[in-house]
Copies of this chain bind each other. A is one copy, B any other.
Amino acid sequence: MASSPPSSAPFSSSEEATTSSNDGSAVQSLKYSRRASLRSVVGRPDGGRGLAGKRAVVGGWVKSSNTVKAKLAGPVSPARMPTTETTTGLTCTEVLMARVPLIRCFARLIGGAADVDRASSVSFKLATGTALMRINDGSCVADLQIVVDSSLCPLKQVTAIGACVLVEGKIELVEGRSQQHVVELRVDKVLHVGTVDIDKYPPSNVELPPPELVKDYPQLATRTTAMASVARVRSEMLHAAHAFFQTNGFFHVNTPIITATTVAGDRSKMFRVMRLESKSDNRAITPEVVRASIKAKTKQIEALNRSESNKEALEAAKLDLQRANELARQLEQQGNADFSDDFFQHPVYLSPDHTLHLETYACALSSVYTFSPVFQAESLERHKHLAERWTIDAELAFAELEDAISCAEDCLMWLLSTVSKNCSDELKFLSNGENNGYFSHIEPAVSSPWERITYNAAVNTLLQVREKSFKAKVELGTPLSHEHMSYLVDDHYKKPVIIYEYPKELKPFYARLMEDGTKVSAFDIVVPKVGTIAYGTQKEERMDNFTARIDELRLPRDHLESYLDIRRHGTVKHSGFSIDIERLIFLVTCLSDIRDVKPFQRTKSNAKC
């Protein structure tokens, strides 16, 4: 069995193959890629010092470069720097250094120019016609400095920012020519060059602010050190989550994405799923589509009226408009349409929430969790809402609210501390090099147990606030606004706060009714900067209360029969919670916009590629 035992340290058992090298002493390549990972070279604690003298095959994309031109004599001053790349880097740095953290990250990525200067200012020590480049393969924050001689390949190709190179050479110590690098690779073989159209390459465009880069070129965004760091943080977060649940005896299940069961109050925020017609992919007609076509037809008629040339065309257009209006009228009448010919033969949606399906698993396997996407069509406050989010949902049988709260708190603490330990380079980079940048977010969250207060206590605390006035009125029975919550976590308690015991009107119908008959067993976990990062409920397991609440809210009973069944037969106390992964990453990465937590975001009018 060739595959590596998961228990072994990363890479250890996967470093069997060695680089195609005539030298016995070579850095081991990855098992499934013909090169050594940069993480195994410059990502080492010693920065690669221990590998000096060894040969290696490495690959990556060029982050910055500097060429020593033959005509140059003596130290190269930044002003006289010949390569556009470095200049680009400098300008970009100046332009962007003042901006939000993410932008500063991009700046330091495209630039890092300062370092190239230091390198270049002494680079006359290098043979002329030599290129000094920094490459990165996305496996770690640190770049590897490589030295390529013009005799090996046309330097203009390999030195362009964004070019991809696969090279072989010898690792050597950098004798004080750079404060950033311990070692560099002296290339003696260029195995592959993926050229770049430098003028068209978005990341090298100074005029393009990084947020637009992410929005307009998601396919290239992960090539930036900032977005690559965010991606690695996400990956580490997910691995830590699976480890947490596996260690605590949870089973990983997959709840359905397409579902007919909806308990969402506002269906206008759900996505409908339909099968496409074979002839055309634009056949499913909504009232919006018809209205749009009416708009178009009216414009056309106006145009024809202005140019009084073509009477027939005008008549035809008018008739066409009549028809379109008739179509719109018909659509109004199709309220109770028959879906028996659609693929699923009834209306189906994209799941906005995995709670109910997860319950059925918990009432059979006891402790379960899922990591799945949820969907919500939220038009307001685009910067806060993603139409497609991934959440971790856990459900425990034989468990009450306090159990779910403890589990959620432990899980979040575990995720935060694991990531801050294993992704310190990424977090430092994203917080612009200041250790405190990310600790200011994470430290209060992992240093001590979190505050637990009831909803009533939270409201009373807010009612006593004198030093400031809130936009939204503080009142018992009304939801807490983002402003209210941020006061509690940022100003009052200065740590994450767990708010529990809510009025039943503020929580889903399935939350368990408490003895007083007005409150339910539910909780929210609120953290600085982000707001609510997790929420949970103890489910109503008592058949009578459950049905009573369904009738009270006039919910479609037929959708809920399956959830009545698990209460009708062998019901059990069960509780669970949901963690919003994108918000968690947003919290630790110091990003300024949650839409930057991954390249292919789905928000209002944005699902292009």
Contacts and interface: CB of A to CB of B under 8 A. Distances in A.
A1 B365 CA distance: 27
Interface residues of A, number: 177
Contact of A289 (B240, B290, B339): B339
Ranked nearest first, the 5 interchain pairs of A and B with the lowest CB-CB distance are A6-B243, A268-B278, A288-B341, A3-B414, A222-B364
Contacts of A218: 360, 562
Contacts of A357: 600
A276 B283 contact: no
A412 to B, nearest CB: 9
Nearest to A567: B194
A605 B252 contact: no
Contacts of A254: 234, 373, 390, 598
A31 B248 contact: yes
A261 B219 CA distance: 12
A348 interface: yes
A344 interface: yes
A546 to B, nearest CB: 13
A120 B326 CA distance: 75
Interface in A302-361: 323-324, 326-327, 329-331, 334-350, 357, 360-361
Interface stretch (A75-83, A394-402, A477-485, A506-514): A394-402
B274 A272 contact: yes
Contacts of A335: 280, 282-283
Contacts of A61: 364, 570
A399 to B, nearest CB: 5
A549 to B, nearest CB: 19
Contact of A366 (B8, B139, B272): B139
Contacts of A429: none
Given A14-B247, A235-B251, 9 more contacts: A4-B248, A138-B366, A139-B249, A217-B565, A288-B339, A289-B337, A344-B387, A345-B605, A562-B609
Contacts of A598: 253-254
Interface stretch (A97-105, A121-129, A159-167, A495-503): A159-167
A239 interface: yes
A568 interface: yes
24 contacts: A31-B406, A32-B399, A37-B249, A137-B366, A137-B397, A138-B366, A163-B570, A222-B364, A234-B252, A256-B600, A258-B350, A258-B375, A259-B600, A267-B278, A272-B273, A272-B281, A274-B284, A285-B286, A292-B337, A292-B341, A326-B330, A344-B387, A346-B607, A360-B599
Interface stretch (A195-203, A206-214, A462-470): A195-203
A173 interface: no
Contact of A604 (B34, B324, B343): B343
A277 interface: yes
A602 B273 CA distance: 13
A607 B348 contact: yes
A67 B247 CA distance: 38
A367 to B, nearest CB: 7
Nearest to A602: B258
Nearest to A326: B326
Given A33-B403, A272-B281, A344-B607, A200 B366 contact: no
A246 interface: yes
Contacts of A289: 334, 337-339, 341-342
A71 to B, nearest CB: 29
A62 B331 CA distance: 52
A257 to B, nearest CB: 5
A593 interface: no
How many copies altogether?
A: 2
A520 interface: no
Contacts of A197: 568-569
Contacts of A579: none
B605 A343 contact: yes
A25 interface: no
Interface in A548-590: 559, 561-563, 565-566, 568-573
Contact of A219 (B196, B283, B563, B573): B563
B249 A608 contact: no
Nearest to A367: B33
Contacts of A334: 282-283, 285, 289-290, 293
B283 A246 contact: no
A491 B19 CA distance: 40
A286 B342 CA distance: 9
Contact of A283 (B164, B286, B365): B286
Interface string A423-443: 000000000000000000000
Contact of A330 (B5, B227, B296, B324): B324
B3 A244 contact: yes
Contact of A446 (B1, B4, B33): B1
B366 A248 contact: no
Contact of A192 (B282, B413, B573): B573
A84 interface: no
Contacts of A336: 282
Given A292-B338, A347-B281, A219 B330 contact: no
